[in-house]
Structure 1
């Protein structure tokens, strides 16, 4: 840490010496202001380093409303971005852009036989992409937004590209309890293909540093800090059957999810009653 030697400065800079007719306290204030600015600048630089806000390519942004329009434009241009959700960091793109979807599979090293979920901004949007009229009134609103993926039948009226998850007539849908991703999903006017931001088979990411080696494949990486939900991801529940449910992945909210399902009189598929 450097210190400021006012004796040396005063000998070289007349400004710091007393000028006749000028009150000495005025010069003291000048010194204080200069020192204050220097200290604040050093502190800001130190904080920036401590927070790990660094990116050679300049693609890292805070996950705030200020950058939502930028993210939407990237999605509309067929790009892949990384975003925080209420569980994990994920890679996202326009679900109706097959080239962008294929890019996500390439980034993750994932087999195309492994389906991708979609994310929408609000519960009311789900009906554009999947069949919901067989579900009890209020069920989806009870589960979402939150750390739950609901698996539903696409149906003939779905606007999803048939090339997304080919061979499957169902789709996993998320409405994360996370403002930033919901803002960009609404702004895109479409659904986002969404999958965890990691190499296939590797631990999920709760911090952007966890997938730093993959940043270069994204147009933007939006930093929402360290996510508190752990690495278990969302609870995945199959709701394609009338009056029944099936937990496909326990995830981070199994107990709460089952409680809501049973409150709406759904029974576990295969359970003896």
Structure 2
């Protein structure tokens, strides 16, 4: 039975989020709100939790998973980033953008794209999620919470609990999320002097970052 943490969207309670972090550290998979939709998250370095996350979401190893980070200071451990790429991301974070970058050797092979060796990365603009990441002290691996056979992400925390209560360890309820997905930008072409590739136009505005 999944635990249920109801937190205030603007003043999240650290006591509840510490309990959620304890579940993550024990190998838990949680449903959490972000600035685009609810997401499934787990620890990056926990093989069993990553496998569970993929099974719940029913995606294979070719599906890009995303690192949720507090800020860009954690970038260098997980992605290879040049100055031009960093300046673009600095304009866009925190916010509803996902960046595809070349992964470093610190990223386990099982969570990077198998053929391209890339990783998705985002810095969400949501207070509860930011506090969760701060208390955890490291990025979390995430995927949008979309039920198998559906195309739209789930947005109602009560419905998420009812649907997944025997498969996940907890739901963090901070109210509904926007249902518009992140804008996905592949920044790897910038390493060769080309422009970033827009893989998906979502909530993140391109003119905000000069594209």
If the length of structure 2 is used for normalisation, what is the TM-score?
0.86
More helix by share: 1
TM-aligned CA deviation for residue 258 of structure 1:
4.2
More strand by share: 2
TM-aligned CA deviation for residue 58 of structure 1:
6.3
Q: Which residue of 2 is the match for residue 76 of structure 1?
A: 25
Rounded to whole Å, the distance in 2 between the matches of 1:257 and 1:112 is: 29
Structure 1 residues 141 and 169: alpha-carbon distance in aligned structure 2, compared to 1, 3 A threshold? same
- 8 Å CA contact 1:148–1:236 kept in 2: the answer is yes
TM-aligned CA deviation for residue 137 of structure 1:
5.5
User: Does structure 1 residue 241 correspond to structure 2 residue 185?
Assistant: no
- 8 Å CA contact 1:98–1:164 kept in 2: the answer is no
TM-aligned CA deviation for residue 136 of structure 1:
5.2
- Write the deviation string for residues 136-171 of structure 1: whole angstroms up to 9, x where unpaired: 563222101100001111134xx2212213333111
Q: What is the RMSD computed on CA atoms of the aligned residues?
A: 1.9
Of the two, which has the highest radius of gyration? 1
Matches within 5 A, 1:1-273: 57=1, 59-63=3-7, 64=12, 65-135=14-84, 138-156=87-105, 159-165=106-112, 166-202=114-150, 203-211=152-160, 212-227=162-177, 229-230=178-179, 232-242=180-190, 243=193, 244-253=195-204, 256-262=205-211
- 8 Å CA contact 2:69–2:138 kept in 1: the answer is yes
Structure 1 residues 98 and 142: alpha-carbon distance in aligned structure 2, compared to 1, 3 A threshold? same
TM-aligned CA deviation for residue 204 of structure 1:
0.5
If the length of structure 1 is used for normalisation, what is the TM-score?
0.68
Unmatched segments (≥5 aa) in structure 1: 1-56, 263-273
Structure 1 residues 153 and 258: alpha-carbon distance in aligned structure 2, compared to 1, 3 A threshold? farther
TM-aligned CA deviation for residue 133 of structure 1:
2.0
Any runs of at least 4 consecutive aligned residues in structure 1 with deviations exceeding 6 A, and if so which? none
Q: Which has the higher contact order (CA 8 A, sep 6+)?
A: 2
Rounded to whole Å, the distance in 2 between the matches of 1:107 and 1:155 is: 27
